[in-house]
């Protein structure tokens, strides 16, 4: 990798002679230092000093592309190359709190990758808290809508940029294929020279070189055929009809943007033609989004964040209010049946049952049914048994006989009782007395 970068950055491959690209010195301790100098500080730079592999214009374009593709440039780093992930604003996002570039983290949601924009440089370098984390899907959706709404004045510029890029790619591909043909022709010529120089009396060597020459000739012919085919198909890609189609797509940009055939990388590249950068600042349930367009125009959006998982699973207030009201009249299972009959469902979209009603009452700190009935003056079976001078287990019997008025407390067949009047108490005591067996003296 380092050798390739050195080659790409070396002006000699563009036919230039240069001297004084670096400056070196020794410090007082004897240590040697060396730094690269910017081009304007080089001692000597002579362009077209000798034949180069590429032109000086191509070299300059490569330097610009390499600079844009750098990933680590401190606070002023560039966006880097568009990659395959679905995050639309990859490389364009700036933290609204500290001004640093935000990074990406992907997680799976419903089987698809979903991005989060993070500002975590302080956490990585100084082990501090993450500055802010923002769900990327909602921001990307809002910015996608903004692109589609604001692209009309820029439609022609986008179309021309796409067209120019296609032409550059075609020219680059044609140059590479032409070089392949030239290399095949050179190898065939070298094989011919070696064959012509061989001693005719040495038939074994001559036959081998002749076979090699023929093989190189076949490779040359195949390379020429492939070049002509690719050139014809390449020429067909830049016809007037297809230019008109590009212009039509620019006018109908929303269709192009939403087309499933448009890759995430292409959407990012289109977004970079429009946006300079996007600053995000999270405030409670909103994201303040400051968009800076190419050319200096700005726009501020307030994007509402989606509810969190626990908020989505929170029981609706109207259901809690209905449970609070029904606790005065019904047991847990009866309340669940009433809610289900109304078509209401739990936060997990399930039918209610007695366990859910008990859990809901506890979580929302609703007064229990027992507390509500006791507050109205109802008594327990034990208290009633003390009043009527009877055993605890017989209270249920007197309720069945209609002498005590009981209200069902829960689904365990437990009851609370209204305070009986004095006549009822005396009547129960007389019946208890009569039911006792008579004891005769011996």
Distance, CA of 432 to CA of 440 (rounded, Å): 19
Distance, CA of 330 to CA of 73 (rounded, Å): 68
Please report the pLDDT score of residue 345 as a whole number. Answer: 86
Would strands 275-283 and 93-95 be described as parallel, antiparallel, or unpaired?
Answer: parallel
Domain range annotation of the chain: 1-54, 69-275, 311-366, 370-436
Residues 65-94 have pLDDT tens digits of: 777 666 444 444 456 677 778 889 988 999
Given a cut of 50, is residue 200 above it in pLDDT? yes
Beta carbons within 10 angstroms of residue 117's beta carbon: 26
Q: Are 252 and 151 in contact (CB under 8 A)?
A: no
Distance, CA of 335 to CA of 325 (rounded, Å): 10
pLDDT-wise least confident of 189-193, 211-215, 246-250, 347-351: 246-250
Which tokens go with 190?
A: 């070298």
Q: What is the mean pLDDT of the chain?
A: 82
Residues 362-407 have pLDDT tens digits of: 888 999 888 888 888 888 888 888 888 877 778 888 888 888 888 8
pLDDT band at 433 (very low <50, low <70, confident <90, very high): confident
144 Rama sector, left if φ>0, alpha if ψ -120 to 50, beta otherwise: alpha
pTM above 0.95, yes or no: no
Distance, CA of 303 to CA of 282 (rounded, Å): 9
User: For 222-257, what is the HEC assignment?
Assistant: HHHHHHHHHHHHHHHHCCHHHHHHHHHHHHCHHHHH
Better pLDDT: 268 or 198: 268
Note the Cα 194 to chain centre separation in Å. Answer: 61
Please report the pLDDT score of residue 440 as a whole number. Answer: 41
Residues 288-310 have pLDDT tens digits of: 999 998 878 899 999 998 777 66
Given a cut of 50, is residue 58 above it in pLDDT? yes
Query: What is the architecture of the domain spanning 370-436?
Result: Orthogonal Bundle (1.10)
User: What CA–CA distances, in Å, run from 358 to 59, 257, 323, 379?
Assistant: 74, 50, 10, 22
Please report the pLDDT score of residue 207 as a whole number. Answer: 82
Burial 120-142 (b: 16+ CB within 10 A, else e): bbeeeeeeeeebbebbbbebbeb
Please report the pLDDT score of residue 160 as a whole number. Answer: 59
Please report the pLDDT score of residue 181 as a whole number. Answer: 86
């Amino acid at each position: 990798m380092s050798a390739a970068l050195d080659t790409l950055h070396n002006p000699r491959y563009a036919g230039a002679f240069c001297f004084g690209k670096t400056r070196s010195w020794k410090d007082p301790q004897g240590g040697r230092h060396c730094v690269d100098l910017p081009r304007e500080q080089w001692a000597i730079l002579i362009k077209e000093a000798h034949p180069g592999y590429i032109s000086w214009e191509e070299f300059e374009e490569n330097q610009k592309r390499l600079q844009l593709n750098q990933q680590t440039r401190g606070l002023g780093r560039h966006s880097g190359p568009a990659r395959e992930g679905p995050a639309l604003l990859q490389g364009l996002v700036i933290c609204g709190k500290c001004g640093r570039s935000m990074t990406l983290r992907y997680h799976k949601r419903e089987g698809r990758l979903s991005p989060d924009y993070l500002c975590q440089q302080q956490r990585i370098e100084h082990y501090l808290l993450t500055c802010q984390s923002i769900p990327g899907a909602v921001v990307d959706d809002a910015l996608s809508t903004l692109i589609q709404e604001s692209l009309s004045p820029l439609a022609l510029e986008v179309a021309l940029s796409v067209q120019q890029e296609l032409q550059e790619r075609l020219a680059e591909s044609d140059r590479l294929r032409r070089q392949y043909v030239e290399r095949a022709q050179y190898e065939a010529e070298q094989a011919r020279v070696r064959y012509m120089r061989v001693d005719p009396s040495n038939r074994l060597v001559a036959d081998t070189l002749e076979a090699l020459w023929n093989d190189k000739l076949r490779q040359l012919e195949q390379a020429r055929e492939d070049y002509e085919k690719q050139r014809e198909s390449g020429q067909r890609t830049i016809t007037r009809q297809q230019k008109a189609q590009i212009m039509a797509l620019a006018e109908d940009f929303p269709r192009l943007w939403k087309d499933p055939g448009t890759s995430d990388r292409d959407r990012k590249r289109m977004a970079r033609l429009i946006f300079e950068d996007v600053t995000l600042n999270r405030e409670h349930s909103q994201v303040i989004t400051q968009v800076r367009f190419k050319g200096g125009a700005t726009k501020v959006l307030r994007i509402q964040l989606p509810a969190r998982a626990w908020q989505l699973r929170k029981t609706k207030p109207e259901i809690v209010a209905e449970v609070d009201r029904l606790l005065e009249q019904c047991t847990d299972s009866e309340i669940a049946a009433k809610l289900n009959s109304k078509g209401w469902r739990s936060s997990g979209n399930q039918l209610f049952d007695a366990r859910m009603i008990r859990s809901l009452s506890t979580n929302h700190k609703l007064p229990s049914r027992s507390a509500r009935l006791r507050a109205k003056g109802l008594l327990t079976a034990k208290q009633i048994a003390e009043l009527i001078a009877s055993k605890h287990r017989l209270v249920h019997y007197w309720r069945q006989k209609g002498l005590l008025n009981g209200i069902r407390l829960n689904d365990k067949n437990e009851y609370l009782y209204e305070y009986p009047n004095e006549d009822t108490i005396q009547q129960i005591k007389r019946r208890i007395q009569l039911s006792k067996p008579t004891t005769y003296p011996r």
